[in-house]
Amino acid sequence: MNNNIINFFREAKAELKKVNWPTKNQTINYTLIVIGISLAVAIFLGGLDYFFGYLLKTFIIN
């Protein structure tokens, strides 16, 4: 049992050494892209919410 656990962690460590990790600049760029897209989607959905709320108040409630 102990050999299986030790072997698992050795293999996991070896696999992590093979990973092609992104550079610092790539990580920053990808993070900024995700933040930008998230903000754009939030603004779009907020606009739709405002628009449909306005329609609801104007035509259905009044």
Residue 57, CA atoms < 13 Å, CB-side half-sphere? 6
Per the rule left: phi > 0, alpha: psi between -120 and 50, beta: everything else, 19 is beta
Q: Where are the domains of the chain?
A: 21-62
Token pair, residue 15, equals 């696999």
How many angstroms separate the Cα of 1 from the Cα of each of 6, 46, 55, 59, 62?
9, 54, 65, 70, 72
Question: What's the confidence (pLDDT) of residue 28?
Answer: 98
Question: What's the confidence (pLDDT) of residue 44?
Answer: 99
Share of the chain above pLDDT 70, in %: 100
pLDDT in tens, 11-50: 999 999 999 999 999 999 999 999 999 999 999 999 999 9
pLDDT in tens, 41-56: 999 999 999 999 999 9
